[in-house]
Structure 1
Amino acid sequence: MTNAFHLENKIALITGGASGIGAATVREFSRAGAHVLIADLNLAAAQSLAAELPNAKAVAMDVTDSSSIATAFKDIPTLDILVNCAGVGLVGDITRTSEEDFSRVMRVNVNSIFLVTQAAFPLLLASRGSIVNIGSVAGSVGVKQRFAYCASKGAVQAMTRQIAVDYPKELRINCVAPGTVQTPFVEGYLDKYHAHEKEKVRSELVARQPIGRLGTPEDIASLARYLCSAEAEFINGAVIPIDGGWTAA
């Protein structure tokens, strides 16, 4: 079964590909045989990761800037897979969310998927390709102190379903909805908001996932790989939780 879920010779573009879930997805797709384009605002980090892998290339891209995206796509003649992974978080309820911060979260988490997917669409239609949007359980359930983030991830789910309805035979698009994943973002959150009680809050993050641990970037990357493989060709327009049982409880 070594060829299961293979992506041999597929061209895959992964936004936010230089760190966290994006970097794990880059490694997983490379392992599966894909040629991976690592799109990131941090070009140096993307280049460093690309140097570790066969058939990987760094691409400078600001996913919130249509001109930056257009420049990147000038050098991408074909594309089979798009993984929209770039994103940011924000802590705060509606009373503690500024207009500026709300706009920033929506710009990075929502507008970017619109802009990058629109730019990639002609190539993906030509290849009958596959799109995976990295969403969150926060798009399905309310999470305390995550007003803007929940709003943005709800939009990711809606965009996924809508495109699947408009283009059911031309390509496939699905959304992965992780629970809390052990990434640099989570560590940054703990350092910024809970420096004096990191382990206590970390335990609380673990506890809300019935399986008893945080997710890993590799957990999410494995599901993304499956969704882009031939074995998943009947899955379209789906929002798939990968959350240790959080949304089932």
Structure 2
Amino acid sequence: MSGPPTDDPSSVVDLISQSPPVDCSKPYDTSTLAGKTILITGGASGFGAAFARHWARHGAHLVLGDINDRAGEELVAELRSSPSTAPDQVIFYQHCDVTSWTDQLALFRAAIAASPNHTIDTVVAGAGIIERGNPLAPSATSPVFDHPANLDASHPPPPPPPLKVLAVNLTGVMYTTHLALYYLSLNPPPSTTTTTSSSSSSTPPRAARDRHLLLISSIAGLIPLPGQTEYTASKHAVMGLFRALRATQQYSGIRVNALTPYFVDTPLLPAAGLALLAGAATAALEDVVDAATRLVADEGIRGRALLVGPKIRVVDLVDGGRLRVVEGEARTEGERRQAVWEVYGHDYERVEVFVWRYLWVLNLMRRLRGWVGFVRDLCGIFVGRRGRR
């Protein structure tokens, strides 16, 4: 930075081109979905399949990758036979193990070849798995990260931990992200001419091709889930990836957003997980789809994350736009039900601004020391290392 650090988070927000906070109570325009080519990993079931069904009805071209070939092919057959699907609408499935770079590269290349515009507009990193073993009673056939085997000192050391969840949820997402950053950057750059969208953000005209990466995290990316250590670590890492990428999106013109759903009844959540939630509310799949659709459709949303949880009755308060949760059966005037909330909406005020100021101080120290300090440090490094040999 060339100037002194600032306590004003808006200057940081402007610098990284982050869009204004998302007002999830306002409607959004879904017409932008028509003609978009959307690639979804983990697209054969769960969130991915739900996204595909909804976006196909709005005219999007869909490329689905998964390892569940039967479910993927059945889904494509269902969508192609739907009355709402246009004859020229591209919808196809391809086998893709996200932990395989070769598989992912082949999926992206297939999407480019099949797309009517030979572009990909949105990439959804949706593939993910959870730890299936019982954290309280692990077995040899279903081990979990929390409980190493062979703890008796008389036995050999334990085998390596099962890191398949990390491989799918983090390595797979990193592969998807790396390819997305490459192929999305090939799109024609967004136009500087903008219009105002329903969420008070700027949307490029339809002549431009969108560049959008949507990362699917989880409530486990925000809070710990006991017994799902590996899953929690992977989803926290996805949020770290999101926060790092959104700070550099102005250089590539790629919109980076994230979704963090609460517990939803999908094939990813086993029966034991649902049993633990008995008596408690869960999030609705349609709310997850709605939140994801808002992020994909509104091309002015950049660097934002949305949490999807159970619907809560809330009332707007006058002081600072705060909300009050409505309790009891009696209906309160002005109440509404809300399931989607912005996450990390104000973290630049607490985290990124501090980091920005700290980096400015470090850079200032470097400039003040100049070339003399640079050469002195280099000499110290090489001389010191020789002395330790």
Q: TM-score, normalised by structure 2?
A: 0.54
> Which residue in the other structure is 1:220 paired with?
288
The answer to whether the 8 A contact 2:221-2:233 is kept is yes
The answer to whether the 8 A contact 1:22-1:85 is kept is yes
Secondary structure of the corresponding residue to residue 13 of structure 1: strand
Secondary structure of the corresponding residue to residue 161 of structure 2: helix
Letter in 1 for 2:30: F
Secondary structure of the corresponding residue to residue 74 of structure 1: helix
Residue 186 of structure 2 corresponds to residue 123 of structure 1: no
Superposed CA deviations along residues 115-151 of structure 1, whole A, max 9, x for unmatched, are 0121232221233411111111111112222211110
The answer to whether the 8 A contact 2:249-2:256 is kept is no
User: What's the C-alpha RMSD, in Å, of the aligned pairs?
Assistant: 2.5
Question: What is the CA–CA distance in structure 2 between the aligned matches of 1:97 and 1:182, rounded to whole Å?
Answer: 30
Secondary structure of the corresponding residue to residue 243 of structure 1: strand
The correspondence of residues 2-17 of structure 1 with structure 2, limited to 5 A, is 4-6=29-31, 7-17=33-43
Question: What is the CA–CA distance in structure 2 between the aligned matches of 1:117 and 1:95, rounded to whole Å?
Answer: 28
Residue 75 of structure 2 corresponds to residue 75 of structure 1: no
Secondary structure of the corresponding residue to residue 86 of structure 1: coil
Residue 264 of structure 2 corresponds to residue 181 of structure 1: yes
Deviation at residue 110 of structure 1 after TM alignment: 0.6
Q: In the alignment, which of 203, 207, 219 is matched to residue 137 of structure 1?
A: 219
Secondary structure of the corresponding residue to residue 95 of structure 1: coil
Letter in 2 for 1:112: G
Q: TM-score, normalised by structure 1?
A: 0.83
Deviation at residue 4 of structure 1 after TM alignment: 2.1
> Which residue in the other structure is 2:17 paired with?
none
The correspondence of residues 60-209 of structure 1 with structure 2, limited to 5 A, is 60-77=95-112, 78-90=119-131, 92=135, 95-96=146-147, 99-101=160-162, 103-127=163-187, 128-168=210-250, 170-186=253-269, 189-190=270-271, 193=272, 201-204=276-279, 207=280
Give the direction of change, closer, same or farther, for the CA distance of 1:97–1:64 in structure 2 (3 Å limit).
Answer: farther
Runs (5+) with no aligned partner, structure 2: 1-26, 80-84, 113-118, 136-143, 150-159, 188-209, 313-338, 342-389
> For structure 1, which segment, 85-94 or 150-159, has the greater mean C-alpha deviation from structure 2 after superposition?
85-94
| Aligned residues with identical type, % of pairs | 28
Question: What is the CA–CA distance in structure 2 between the aligned matches of 1:228 and 1:97, rounded to whole Å?
Answer: 42
Question: What is the CA–CA distance in structure 2 between the aligned matches of 1:247 and 1:49, rounded to whole Å?
Answer: 27
Question: What is the CA–CA distance in structure 1 between the aligned matches of 2:263 and 2:178, rounded to whole Å?
Answer: 29
Higher relative contact order (CA 8 A, sep 6+): 1
Q: Which has the higher helix share?
A: 1
Deviation at residue 238 of structure 1 after TM alignment: 2.1
Question: What is the CA–CA distance in structure 2 between the aligned matches of 1:105 and 1:23, rounded to whole Å?
Answer: 20
Give the direction of change, closer, same or farther, for the CA distance of 1:163–1:48 in structure 2 (3 Å limit).
Answer: same
Letter in 2 for 1:62: D
Question: What is the CA–CA distance in structure 1 between the aligned matches of 2:268 and 2:56, rounded to whole Å?
Answer: 24
> Which residue in the other structure is 1:210 paired with?
none
The answer to whether the 8 A contact 1:161-1:238 is kept is no
Letter in 2 for 1:30: A
The answer to whether the 8 A contact 1:137-1:247 is kept is no
Question: What is the CA–CA distance in structure 2 between the aligned matches of 1:80 and 1:247, rounded to whole Å?
Answer: 24
Return structure 1 stretches of 4+ with deviation > 4 angstroms: 245-248
Secondary structure of the corresponding residue to residue 185 of structure 2: helix
The answer to whether the 8 A contact 2:122-2:211 is kept is yes
> Which residue in the other structure is 2:44 paired with?
18
> Which residue in the other structure is 2:53 paired with?
27
Question: What is the CA–CA distance in structure 1 between the aligned matches of 2:29 and 2:222, rounded to whole Å?
Answer: 30
Deviation at residue 28 of structure 1 after TM alignment: 1.3
Question: What is the CA–CA distance in structure 1 between the aligned matches of 2:259 and 2:285, rounded to whole Å?
Answer: 12
- Count of paired positions: 229
The answer to whether the 8 A contact 1:25-1:218 is kept is no
Runs (5+) with no aligned partner, structure 1: 208-212
